[in-house]
Structure 1
Amino acid sequence: MTAPAVAAQRSAPDPAWWADPYALALRHGKGPLFLRRADGWLLPLEVERWCAGTDAADRSVLSRCRGTVLDIGCGPGRLIAALAERGRGALGIDVAPAAVAQAVRRGGSALCRSVFETLPREGHWGTALLMDGNIGIGGNPSALLERVAGLLTPGGRLLVEAAPVEVDERCEVRLDDGRGTLGTPFPWARAGRRALLHHAGATGWRTARSWTVTGRHFAELVRVAPLHVAAPTGAPVCLGGAQ
């Protein structure tokens, strides 16, 4: 990525983001941090893993990247930093300024932007990543998969992580720091391996392979036909690893 792509996100973020539970967790490099549904159910988020280096599961994904790489919901940037170290062109996007700032500090290129906004090099990325539960971005996996199809070059691939359990859920959640601080509600989704492959097939993707490493489930999807995509309104929250 060019220097302007990095510099574009260096302006001071809205102070409200620094008080957000996600931003504070990233600053400290640890949780607790949860996604809270309206019924009180909590999903623990792996802040420590996101802020650490890549592990065996991450490396199994990175080894399958081809061409330039777009990491959607890059969080604090462990994957784009690892790709930069390998000399591969890569860009991370995330709507959380704290995450983008940390990704850049780690040596990656990143922009503070939603996947549903206009992005650099649309239609020309070789690989897109949706790791750490980011298939949930926007609360509609099918709409997200259609949007990603429009970002890739013909024959491009999407490397995506499924939920560790068989689930197909769309809901509204809030970030919860476990100490009474709640973030703003936003739409989210979870898709287990079976549901993920169903959504992929229904939106014009072919599953090239799927695999599991250390209990994390992944799929490599190949774009088989151009799709006409109407981008949803708004800027959904993407977590670097809710993921």
Structure 2
Amino acid sequence: MTAQLIEPARSAWQADPYSDALRAGRGPLYLRRHDGWLLPLEVERWCAEPDAADDTVLARCSGPVLDIGCGPGRLVAALAGLGHAALGVDVTPEAVARTVRAGGSALCRSVFDPLPREGGWGTVLLIDGNIGIGGDPAALLYRAADLTAPGGSLLVEAATADVDERVEVHVEDGAGGRGASFRWARLGTRALCTEAKAAGWTPYDTWQAAGRHFVHLTH
């Protein structure tokens, strides 16, 4: 992952529309592609307590857990409540602040920065579309492998559609506020498993819950 890809993405997720939505705990908030396509972002769900689909992820976590792109920290806080050593990382200061207020631990840092316990995390999470971080799933999957302990797990939320795309997007609020453009990716389950195998991961399980799709990979 090059600095040219990391830095624009970092700046974009620190942009006012995203931070403002996290402060308010609600949207509307979107990712907009340059051809006009919009992906609604589920800010209200991210800022709420874990739902039934999240519970299926939490139940598969073992050992210390790293949540990449933790957002407002619902999973990190829940894991701490379950007795896990859990850490969230996010490039948005407001996301980190909300995670801490919720009772979780988090660092304001990119996943590609040096992180605690590298190579020792029992479970790594890429939930809420975070396989898209940086627009380069291969680089992210290799990085996740560096972070995960031997025999550890990577739990990834895939797109519900059978899609494999790398796109340029920006965050906007639907009322004129928008952030800088950055690279993003969307992978359905099939494309995700293909990328994961190439990065040295073994698909262990796939499941669906409340209309969301997940993949369990082992290291």
TM over 0.5: yes
Q: How does 1:110-149 map to 2 (within 5 A)?
A: 110-149=106-145
Structure 1 residue 42, shift from structure 2 partner? 0.7
Q: 1:77-156 alignment to 2 at 5 Å? A: 77-156=73-152
Aligned counterparts of 1:94 and 1:164: Cα–Cα separation in 2? 24
> Could you list the per-position Cα deviations for residues 58-114 of structure 1 after superposition, in whole angstroms to 9, with x for gaps in the alignment?
010010101000000000000000001111100000000010000000000000000
Q: Deviations over 1:22-44 (max 9, x none)?
A: 10001111110000111111100
Runs of 4+ in structure 1 deviating by more than 2 angstroms, as ranges, are none
3-state SS in 2 of match to 1:150: helix
Q: Which secondary structure state, in structure 2, belongs to the residue aligned with residue 164 of structure 1?
A: coil
Q: Distance in 2 between matches of 1:127 and 1:203?
A: 17
C-alpha distance in structure 1 between counterparts of 2:151 and 2:84, whole Å:
19
59, 65, 81: which is aligned to 1:63? 59
Match of 1:170 among 159, 162, 166: 166
CA distance in 2, matches of 1:116, 1:185: 19
- The match for 1:196 is 192
The separation in 2 between residues aligned to 1:130 and 1:59, in whole angstroms, is: 15
1:217 and 2:213 aligned: yes
After TM superposition, the structure 1 = structure 2 runs for residues 18-57 of structure 1, keeping only pairs within 5 Å, are 20-57=16-53
Question: Which structure carries more helix by proportion?
Answer: 2
TM-score (norm 2): 0.93
Separation in structure 1 between the aligned mates of residue 37 and residue 72 of structure 2, nearest angstrom: 26
Give the distance between the partners of 1:66 and 1:83, measured in 2 at CA.
10
Which structure 2 segments of 5+ residues have no match?
Answer: 1-10
Task: Could you tell me which runs of 5 or more consecutive residues in structure 1 were left unpaired when the two chains were aligned.
Answer: 1-13, 224-243
- Give the distance between the partners of 1:189 and 1:46, measured in 2 at CA: 17
- Distance in 2 (CA, whole Å) between partners of 1:63 and 1:41 is 34
Corresponding pairs, count: 208
2:61 counterpart SS class: coil
TM-score norm. by structure 1 comes to 0.84
Q: Find the partner of 1:187 among 164, 183, 188.
A: 183
- The alignment partner of 1:201 has SS state of helix
For residue 66 of structure 1, give the secondary structure of its aligned residue in structure 2. coil
User: For 2:190 and 2:29, how far apart are their aligned partners in 1?
Assistant: 27
Deviation at 1:164, TM superposition (A): 1.1
Distance in 2 (alpha carbons) for counterparts of 1:187 and 1:121: 28
